[in-house]
Structure 1
Amino acid sequence: MVSCSSSSGSEEDGEGFDSYRKGGYHAVRIGDQFAAGRYIAQRKLGWGHFSTVWLAYDTTTSAYVALKIQKSASQFVDAALHEIEILSSIADCASSSNASSNVKFVIQLIDHFKHTGPNGQHLCMVLEFLGDSLLRLIKFSRYKGLPLDRVREICKCILIGLDYLHREHGIIHTDLKPENVLLVSTIDPAKDPVRSETAPILERPEGNINGGVTSLIEKRLKRRARRAVAKISGRKDSMVETGEAPKPDRNIDGVDVRCKIVDFGNACFADKPIAQEIQTRQYRAPEVILEAGYSFSVDMWSFACIAFELATGDMLFTPKVGQGFSEDEDHLALMMELLGKIPRKIATAGAKSKDFFDRHGDLKRIRRLKFWPLNKLLIDRYKFPENDAHEFSEFLLPLLDFAPEKRPTAQQCLQHPWLNCKDSTPT
C-alpha cells in the first residue's frame, strides 16, 4: 500500500498495465475530476498493490492534496474501509481534544468518497500532501547514512507520532518502515507544487486521452530500449542505464527532515488485533516471527530498525533462505548474533517456537553464530567514533530487547539522553 508518495512503488517501476481491469486500478487522466469536481488530478505520485496515489488540487480549499484511489475488488474496498476507520478515529480524537494531528506527526485524513469508473466502484481517500519517504531520503544520501543530528530530528518526529497513536488512540501501526514515514516537504523544491509555485491544472489538457495507461506503455518501451542498449554494449553500469555519470555524495543540510507517520492500512486497535503475521520482514519483531502475541512494543522494535538504517544507510536485519533453514530462522539467528541468545522462556513461548528451537532454546538448524555486538558493529563496519557508537547503542539496545514488555515506550524514549543531547526539537 501507499499513502501519499511514491514510496511503495515508483513511476519507473510501474504498477502494470494488466492491473487496469475489473476489480483493479482506476485509470486516471490529468485533469480528471472527482467528488463532483472538487478534486482535480494533477500528476501521479505513486502506487501500491492496493491503490494508486495522485497529486490533486482541491478547488474548495485551493490547496494541493494526495488522492488515494483504491482498487475496486471487494477485498481492497474492505481494506480501505478499515484504513478510513483508523484515520477517522485519529482525526475525531484530535478535534475533540483540540490536539491537531498536524502537531503530532501523523498524517491527516481530509475526506473520503466513492468514485465509479469502468473497472468498478473505487473508495477514495483524500490525505494531506506530504513529501518524500525516509527511504527516498536514505537513497538520496546514497546509502551513506545521515548525520546523527538529522537522525535525532527524524527520530523525535516518529516517536511523537507513535506516542500519540499508542497512548492517545490505542493504535498499533504494525508496518512501520522508511517507506511509511514521509517528510513534510519534498527533497527537491521543484517537485513541491506550492514551493515551485506551479499553477494548478483545472481542465484536461488537449490530447490527454489515455492518461496513466498510455504512460505505462511508453515507460515500459523506454525501459526495454535502455536494456537493449546495455546488452549491446555489454555494460550494465549506471552510466549505461541512466545516461549519467555517478554523482558525488549529496548534502542534506537544506532538507527539512520533519516527518509524519503514514499508511494505516495494516494498523489495528490494540484490543482488536487483525492479523497474526504483521510487519514488513526486515522490521519484524521476534515475537511476531514466533507467533507469541504482540502489542505496541512491535512498533518500537521497527522504530529501532529504522533509526539504525537512517544512521548507517543499511538495514539492520536482512535475512535470507539458506540451505536447510528458512528465512524466519535466519532472521532469528541474525538477531542473536547482534543481541545475544534469546532467553529460553521467550524462545519457546510462541505457537511457532517448535519450528525453530529445541527444548533448550537453541536453534535447530543454525548452530554456528558469529556474535557481533551493536557497539562493535557501528565502530568496525560503519566507522562511528567510539563515543557516538556507545551513545547510539545505548539508545537502540533497550528497544531491541527480546522481551517485548521490557522495551521502552515511545514516551519514555522521548526522554532519553541521546535524543536530547542537542537542540533538535521538531517545530
Structure 2
Amino acid sequence: MHDLKLIHTDLKPENVLLKDASYVKKPYTLPATASTTGSKKSSKAKGKTYYRKILTDPKIYTIDFGSAIFQDEYHSTIVSTRHYRAPEIILGIGWSYPCDMWSLGCILVELITGDALFKTHENVQHLAMMEKVLGEKIDLSLVRKCFSLFYHDNTTTQSSNGRRRSSTSSNATGDCIASAFSKKNGQLIFPTPTTPQKLVSEVTNLPNLADLIGSKVGFRFTMSLGLADSIKFFKVPKKHQEEYSFWYWFLDLIKCLLVYDPEKRLTAKEAMCHKWFDCGLADDGIDV
C-alpha cells in the first residue's frame, strides 16, 4: 500500500481477514523453566499443556479502504480507531505512512495477548498508557511541535499540508492537547488532582511491554539487554534458546514499531527486513 503512496489509516484486527478460518489444534507447552510474573498463578501455568489453532491456509486480506487516502491528498485531523491511533495523531502534529506502522505494532501485541493494548477513550490517558507500556517519556521534540501548533492560536492550527483546521485534539476537559504537557519541562501531566481514580488505576495497572509479552510466551525479557546477555541474565536453558530468540526479536520488532517519533519508526520495508523474519521455530504448521 505504501509503495502505491496509499495510507490505510485504520489498520486493526477487524480489518485483517483470514482467507480460510479452518484450523487444526496442536499441543503447546510453556517452557517449564521459564518464569513469568512470579505469582502462584504463573507457577501453576508452567508445564501445563495448551492448544494452538494452526490455520490450514495463512493467507490474509486487508479490507476497509473507506478512510484510506493518498499521501498527496488532504489529511483530516483525526484518523484511526482510538486503540490503534498513533501519538502524532493525538498530538495533532500531522501524520503520514508511519501511523499505519504504529497500528501494526498494536495489532502484533493483540495477536499475542488477545486484548487491545490501549483500552481508552481519552487522549491524555492514552498518552499516559503509552508512556507506561513503553517505559519512556514522549519525545520532547514532538511536544515542542505540539506547542508551536496550538499555542500560537487557541482555536486553529496549521495542518501538515498547509491548510488551516480547527483544534479538535482535546482532552476530557475540552482543552487542547498541548495543555496536557508542562510548559516548563514538556512532560505529560498525568494524573492531575481532577483525574478520575478509575483512569489513574487503568494506567497504573498496565505492565510494561516486555513483561506483557513475556507473561504470554513463558519467558522473561528486558530490552535494556542484548539477546546474548538476556539469555545469560535469565539463565535460559540451551534447549529453549532458539525459541527465546524468536520471541526476543518479536518483542524488538514491536518496540521498533511503537516509537513515538514517526520519523524514527520502522517503515514497512524496514520492518520486513527485521531480524525476527530470519528466526525460525521448529515447524508448527500442519502436514499437507
Displacement of 1:295 after TM fit? 0.6
CA distance in 2, matches of 1:313, 1:356: 31
Displacement of 1:364 after TM fit? 2.8
Q: Which residue of 2 aligns with 1:266?
A: 67
Q: Which residue of 2 aligns with 1:297?
A: 98
Give percent identity, aligned residues only: 36
1:330 and 2:125 aligned: yes
1:361 to 179, 186, 193: 186
Q: Which residue of 2 aligns with 1:166?
A: 2
Look up the equivalent residue of 1:361 and give its one-letter code: G
Q: Which residue of 2 aligns with 1:140?
A: none
1:255 to 52, 56, 69: 56
CA distance in 2, matches of 1:254, 1:303: 20
Q: Which residue of 1 aligns with 2:10?
A: 175
Q: Which residue of 2 aligns with 1:346?
A: 142
Look up the equivalent residue of 2:263 and give its one-letter code: E
Q: Which residue of 2 aligns with 1:285?
A: 86
Matched-pair contact (CA < 8 Å) for 2:112–2:213: no
Matched-pair contact (CA < 8 Å) for 2:124–2:177: no
| CA RMSD, Structure 1 to Structure 2 (Å) | 2.6
CA distance in 2, matches of 1:292, 1:274: 11
Look up the equivalent residue of 2:139 and give its one-letter code: P
Matched-pair contact (CA < 8 Å) for 1:391–1:418: yes
1:319 to 111, 114, 120: 120
Q: 1:389 to 1:372 in 2, by over 3 A?
A: farther
CA distance in 2, matches of 1:311, 1:253: 14
TM-score, scaled relative to structure 2: 0.61
- Secondary structure (helix, strand or coil) at the match of 2:145 reads coil
CA distance in 2, matches of 1:357, 1:330: 12
Displacement of 1:382 after TM fit? 2.3
Look up the equivalent residue of 1:357 and give its one-letter code: F
CA distance in 2, matches of 1:393, 1:405: 20
Unmatched runs of 5 consecutive residues or more in structure 2: 24-49, 151-175, 193-199, 221-243, 284-288
Identify which range, 402-411 or 178-187, moves more after superposition: 178-187
Matched-pair contact (CA < 8 Å) for 1:297–1:407: yes
Q: Which residue of 1 aligns with 2:276?
A: 418
Matched-pair contact (CA < 8 Å) for 1:175–1:278: yes
Matched-pair contact (CA < 8 Å) for 1:180–1:261: yes
Displacement of 1:316 after TM fit? 1.4
Displacement of 1:422 after TM fit? 2.6
Q: Which residue of 1 aligns with 2:22?
A: 187
Aligned positions, number:
194
CA distance in 1, matches of 2:65, 2:279: 32
1:396 and 2:230 aligned: no
Larger radius of gyration: 1
Greater length-normalized contact order (CA 8 Å, ≥ 6 residues apart) = 2
Q: How does 1:130-141 map to 2 (within 5 A)?
A: none
Q: 1:270 to 1:293 in 2, by over 3 A?
A: same
Look up the equivalent residue of 1:263 and give its one-letter code: D
Look up the equivalent residue of 1:302 and give its one-letter code: S
- Secondary structure (helix, strand or coil) at the match of 1:182 reads strand
Matched-pair contact (CA < 8 Å) for 1:347–1:353: no
Look up the equivalent residue of 1:296 and give its one-letter code: Y
- Secondary structure (helix, strand or coil) at the match of 2:77 reads coil
- Secondary structure (helix, strand or coil) at the match of 1:260 reads strand
Displacement of 1:250 after TM fit? 6.4
Q: Which residue of 1 aligns with 2:216?
A: 382
Displacement of 1:389 after TM fit? 4.4
Matched-pair contact (CA < 8 Å) for 1:348–1:354: no
The superposition leaves residues 235-275 of structure 1 with CA deviations (integer Å, 9 ceiling, x where unpaired) of xxxxxxxxxxxxxx764224322102111000001111342
Matched-pair contact (CA < 8 Å) for 1:166–1:172: yes
1:409 to 264, 267, 274: 267
Matched-pair contact (CA < 8 Å) for 1:399–1:407: yes
Identify which range, 169-178 or 271-280, moves more after superposition: 271-280
